[in-house]
């Protein structure tokens, strides 16, 4: 289990906890932002592959 320090009281808190059990401070997790960023990068990569390799071979789109 991964632990992080609470920014207010430095108590070790689980990464999946929503708040510090000692002081009650709500914790923000970067996991959501990382997931959105990963999905965006994968989506852009798939679009690039589609436009660069797949559509020209099917004769649907030709790069200028």
User: Nearest CA to 53 among 61, 42, 41?
Assistant: 61
Number of domains the chain is built from? 1
Specify if 23 maps to a domain.
yes
Whose tokens are 């071979």? That residue is 57
**Residue 63 within any structural domain of the chain:** no
Q: What tens digit of pLDDT does each residue of 20-62 get? A: 999 999 987 655 677 888 899 999 999 999 988 888 888 887 6
> Is residue 20 within 8 Å of residue 8, measured between CB atoms?
yes
pTM: 0.46
The vertex-30 CA angle with 46 and 24, nearest 5°, equals: 155
**39 domain residue, yes or no:** yes
Give domain status of residue 53, yes or no: yes
Range of the domain at 43: 3-58
Residue 64 belongs to some domain of the structure = no
Residue 40 domain-assigned?
Answer: yes
Kindly state whether residue 16 falls inside one of the protein's structural domains.
yes
- The kind and range of the H/E element at 47 are helix 31-49
């Amino acid at each position: 289990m991964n632990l992080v320090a609470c920014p207010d009281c430095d108590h070790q808190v689980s990464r999946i906890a929503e708040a510090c059990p000692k002081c009650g401070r709500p914790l923000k997790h970067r996991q959501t932002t990382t997931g959105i960023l990963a999905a965006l990068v994968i989506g852009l990569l798939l679009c690039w592959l589609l436009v660069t390799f797949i559509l020209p071979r099917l004769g649907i789109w030709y790069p200028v």
